[in-house]
Amino acid sequence: MQKWFEDAKLGIFIHYGIYAVDGVAESWSFYNGRMSYEDYMKQLDGFTASKFDADAWADLIEKSGAKYAVLTTKHHDGVALWDTQHSHLNTVKKTPAARDIVKQYADAITEKGLRLGFYFSLIDWSHPDYPSVYEGGNVPEDPASANRFSSPVDGIQDESRWEKFLEFNNRQLEELLTGYGKVDLLWFDGDWERSAEQWNLPHFKHYLKSFQPEIIINSRLQGHGDYKTPEQGLPITRPEGPWEFCTTINGSWGYVPADEHYKSLHQIVRMFCDCISMGGNMLLDIGPKEDGTIDERQEAILLGLGSWIRAHEEAVYGTKEGVMSRYYGDGSTLSADEKTLYLFVHGDPKESICMKGLCNEIQKVSVLHSGKPLTYDIHGGVPWFQIPGTTWIHLTREDTHELTTVIKLEFAEKVNMYGGSGAVVTHN
Ligand code: GLC
């Protein structure tokens, strides 16, 4: 895994597409029959990108504190946001926007010094050759029950059409990986409708890396990706290896004005702290309007998160996952040298916060955003059995940040936590 990714902590996901015209769910709305394919595709005529300003996006993303961005270059609907030569279904040829959105996005993101990510749907529910085979080649008992956009409904598989689709897929990916400068991250989606064998893995991955040797590929590649992508529900157990939690700000990936179910800024900050406490990144999604502007509520969340991160930078970038939540409940991170522990405090403490199992002697405790030193007490502990007491750090409401407060604990040595079950104290 590339170090930049593990150090970055925050990325911004952008679901931009023709679905913003009617404000409906991306691709799924026709696949699930909530609207006809024809009506869905009529949105092509309304996609103007008339106020699309890639520099403004890059500026907002940088202000959010994110170090990378991931744009939907093509969602499951098959509409490419770049000037692809392999299909007419793209924003240059088929929409009044008549421009290569990916190009402008890539230039602006790269210019800002952010890492460039492309979301690419392996599923293409518009391509005539895509619904030619079933997952793993297994014909279902009732072929007619298959969804016509993803599988043949007559029970007949056509391998040669599938090969044609793979060729098309490879050509489109080649365009993305060769025409837009350095691409840092490829975010696949929709691998689930075919098996690893059908996607021609691992050969397919080698093919992609031949264009961009340092590229990171997410896990949605039938077991061949570089990191895990839990979605919408925060992990409770730390996922194994590198990971990134993707989430929406309201409940929708794309622009759905009817969806008013927004998370608050504090909730977003807490979710972010939860991710980095467990060694993960957060990929926070925005869904721009069809004209390319961003809903002010989403913009406010990005700016708010950014100013929280700026006030707490050393607890965020380049840190490692913190101590387990049984030592401290609200989450924490550790500096790279493991000699500084950052505790997140989400609520208003009454008089103190409590940390268990800490074996190190504390050199200094302070509130990160204000630098104010704090006092603490240690109660209990059995030093001759190496069982530490409980550390009570004195903290009241006046010392807290308006969102999440960070308490900085400094030690002379690497942090050392007690993991035992306690003992009967003899030799008192
Ligand atoms: C799901 C959905 C898709 C969305 C993605 C984002 O896989 O299919 O619509 O783009 O999640 O993580």
The pLDDT tens digits of the residues spanning 178-188 come to 999 999 999 99
189 CB within 6 A, ligand 1: yes
Across the chain, what does the average pLDDT equal? Answer: 96
Q: Are residues 64 and 184 in the same domain?
A: yes
Domain region containing 367: 320-411
Do 327 and 417 form a contact (C-beta atoms < 8 A)? yes
C-alpha–C-alpha distance, residues 316 and 10, integer Å: 9
273 C-alpha vs ligand 1 centroid, how far in Å?
A: 23
Do 299 and 60 form a contact (C-beta atoms < 8 A)? yes
Do 261 and 253 form a contact (C-beta atoms < 8 A)? no
254 C-alpha vs ligand 1 centroid, how far in Å?
A: 10
24 CB within 6 A, ligand 1: no
C-alpha–C-alpha distance, residues 142 and 384, integer Å: 70
Count CB atoms within 10 A of the CB of residue 292. Answer: 21
Q: Is residue 421 part of a domain?
A: no
Tens digits of per-residue pLDDT, 313-354? 999 999 999 999 999 999 999 999 999 999 999 999 999 999
The pTM of this model reads 0.96
Tens digits of per-residue pLDDT, 189-215? 999 999 999 999 999 999 999 999 999
15 C-alpha vs ligand 1 centroid, how far in Å?
A: 9
Q: Is residue 416 part of a domain?
A: no
Q: Is residue 203 part of a domain?
A: yes
Provide the pLDDT for residue 286.
Answer: 98
Q: Is residue 85 part of a domain?
A: yes
Q: Are residues 91 and 186 in the same domain?
A: yes
Backbone φ, ψ for residue 389 (5° rounding): -85, -170
Tokens of 286: 């925005």
CATH number of 203's domain? 3.20.20.80
Poorest-pLDDT segment among 173-177, 219-223, 266-270, 290-294: 219-223
Q: Are residues 300 and 329 in the same domain?
A: no
Q: Are residues 333 and 265 in the same domain?
A: no
Q: Is residue 342 part of a domain?
A: yes
- For residue 208, give Cα distances in angstroms to 72, 161, 229: 18, 22, 19
Q: Are residues 209 and 283 in the same domain?
A: yes
One-letter identity of residue 127: H
Of 27, 189, 249, 281, which is best to mutate to test ligand 1, by the most ligand atoms within 8 angstroms of its C-beta?
Answer: 189
365 C-alpha vs ligand 1 centroid, how far in Å?
A: 42
Please say if the pLDDT value at position 413 is more than 90. yes
Do 85 and 175 form a contact (C-beta atoms < 8 A)? yes
Provide the pLDDT for residue 424.
Answer: 87
The residue whose CA is least distant from atom 1 of ligand 1 is 189
7 CB within 6 A, ligand 1: no
DSSP-assigned states of every residue in 231-280: BSS--SSPPSSSBEEEE-SSS-SS--TT---PPPHHHHHHHHHHHHHTT-
Q: For the chain, how many structural domains are there in total?
A: 2
Tens digits of per-residue pLDDT, 145-185? 999 999 999 999 999 999 999 999 999 999 999 999 999 99
Q: How much of the chain, in percent, has pLDDT values that exceed 90?
A: 96
Of 253, 256, 285, which is best to mutate to test ligand 1, by the most ligand atoms within 8 angstroms of its C-beta?
Answer: 253
Provide the pLDDT for residue 383.
Answer: 84
Q: Are residues 190 and 292 in the same domain?
A: yes
Provide the pLDDT for residue 422.
Answer: 85
Report how far apart the first and last C-alpha atoms of the chain are (Å, whole number): 51
Q: Is residue 418 part of a domain?
A: no
Mean of the pLDDT values across residues 100-124? 98
Please say if the pLDDT value at position 1 is more than 90. no
Tens digits of per-residue pLDDT, 234-284? 999 999 999 999 999 999 999 999 999 999 999 999 999 999 999 999 999
255 C-alpha vs ligand 1 centroid, how far in Å?
A: 14
Provide the pLDDT for residue 423.
Answer: 81
Atom of ligand 1 nearest to the CA of 229: 12
